[in-house]
Amino acid sequence: MTAHIYPGADRTTQWFHSAYEGDTMPHPNVIVLHTTEGSSWPSYSGGSVAPTFTVHPDGRVRQHFYANESARALVNAAGGVQTNTLNCVQIELIGTCDKGGPGVYWPSATDAQLAGLAKLVKWLTATYPIPLKSTSKPWLAYPSSYGSKNGQRMSFSEWENFNGIAGHQHVPENDHGDPGNFPIARLIKLAGGASAPAPATKPVVDLSNVVEAARKDPSAAQGHATHAADVKIVEAALKAEGLLSAAYASDGSFGTTTIAAYKKLQQKLGYSGADADGIPGLSSLKALGAKHGFTVKA
């Protein structure tokens, strides 16, 4: 019979099962990492917003609910998808994802500070069908990790089909950016898995000449081929967003049709007025690149 209490945990100091008994999760298959944004043990409002575990950087672990019981640290909006109850074990790390914030800055945590978490993750992945692997979504530095505009947040279907380790910044229906650019590859290595593969080199898009030509005269940009390969990358991303038809998605010309599609992207990202004129700006290009696998030359 599976024991749902971590042998290394203090399960008495802040045991919230009696006050907020959760749903039983038959097959926990996801770990979500949070940061508390504080330097001491949180109260969690008596358990109403508590995770499954809290880990101190000195290695101490408190358990708040059974490991196969839903916790309460995620937003779960009406409709959409389930979050807390979707076979999700939640771990809060005492410290911060915001450089200069309170407590340990987890993106720069030492192996010693990661050791207690690594032991817990090793036990969880050995006890439940949780793969010792990271989400393929980027672990962005805070505050870029906040919200959903930079490509790190999972879609509903991605979340429902995900097994492995993710951060609060990856969970749909939530906007928090913790735990920032967490050292997930080192955690996996310390927990006994292979280190995460180095990310593939992303193409660098340079639209400087195209943007200059389009600003002067959109019709002139139609035949501007100096950076045609870069334009094709952006066109493919616009096609993937459903904003540009296949007929124009690989011609390499940033003309009036592509400008119109890019304007729709800017509006989709929340820009308006002069900031949604269809001419690529650095911030909107970076957002598009983060979601579709390219970087942008500043």
The pLDDT value recorded for residue 197 is 52
Whole-model pTM: value is: 0.67
- Tokens for 261, please give them: 């599609």
The pLDDT value recorded for residue 279 is 86
Determine the 3-state secondary structure of 34 from DSSP.
Answer: strand
Residues 1-17 as b/e (b if ≥16 CB within 10 A, e otherwise) read eeebebeebebeebbbe
Closest among 141, 122, 165 to 154, alpha carbons compared = 165
- Tokens for 12, please give them: 């008495």
pLDDT digits over 235-277, tens only? 888 989 999 887 776 777 787 888 889 999 999 999 999 889 8
The pLDDT value recorded for residue 12 is 96
Beta strand 164-167 pairing with 88-93: unpaired
Rounded Cα distance between 163 and 278, Å, is: 38
CATH of region 1-199: 3.40.80.10
Rounded Cα distance between 191 and 106, Å, is: 16
Beta strand 61-63 pairing with 88-93: unpaired
The pLDDT value recorded for residue 90 is 98
pLDDT digits over 6-65, tens only? 999 999 999 999 999 999 998 999 999 999 999 999 999 999 999 999 999 999 999 999
| All structural domains of the chain with their residue ranges | 1-199, 204-296
Question: Which residue bears the tokens 């492995």?
Answer: 164
- What 186-195 contacts at long range (C-beta under 8 Å, 24+ apart), as own/partner pairs, is 186/111, 186/114, 187/114, 187/117, 187/118, 187/121, 188/132, 188/133, 188/134, 190/111, 190/114, 190/115, 190/118, 191/118, 191/119, 191/121, 191/122, 191/125, 191/132, 192/122, 192/132, 193/125, 193/132, 193/133
pLDDT digits over 177-200, tens only? 999 999 999 999 999 975 445 555
